[in-house]
Structure 1
């Protein structure tokens, strides 16, 4: 199982891998990017008044689901070579009013990781 780390510096500083190895290994890079997005969401949540969760149904999952009052946003994090959006379409069928956000990757409408981490991406409609 993957461990979510709230400070990505710990992931790289405490491990035995150098910076280049973290960035060259797609699985490690993906974990690092997903952890950075999660840490940013957890930092924003108390100030902006939303909950941070994840969603899984069988083998389908969405990295992060945000809830503020009746509004939902589904966030899928892509860090390079992945294809598809795992459970995003399934979740959106169940909750058609949810906002879809794809961070990174090449999906249509995806935002960059940098823009997301700099809070340039609106989290709710």
Structure 2
């Protein structure tokens, strides 16, 4: 049994065979696999920022505020995106983490608890387009 957004308990197997995937994800508030990967990456970066990772990860990312002298808005939360020469390199945690993190609103980057970060990120994520 799964619970829909409108609090109606529904057996997922009772739905029609050709049920729209995006509609299913929206109704049950389920993330797609790509979004789950993004959520894990962002949770890792959040833990890095809050210094809850093992010591080996202390210098894994670099904050822009540590190297830039001019103070601009939200500079203390922005990460430096390392250069990658290949498409394979662009998919690494070291590159995708800062890319995703820099797109987040300020209200999410200041959260300390990983569970509350995941919950708020899932809430601010736009719904999937239904055809």
Same fold (TM over 0.5): no
Question: Which protein is bigger by CA-based radius of gyration?
Answer: 2
TM-score by length of 1: 0.22
Q: Which has the higher contact order (CA 8 A, sep 6+)?
A: 2
Q: Which has the higher helix share?
A: 2
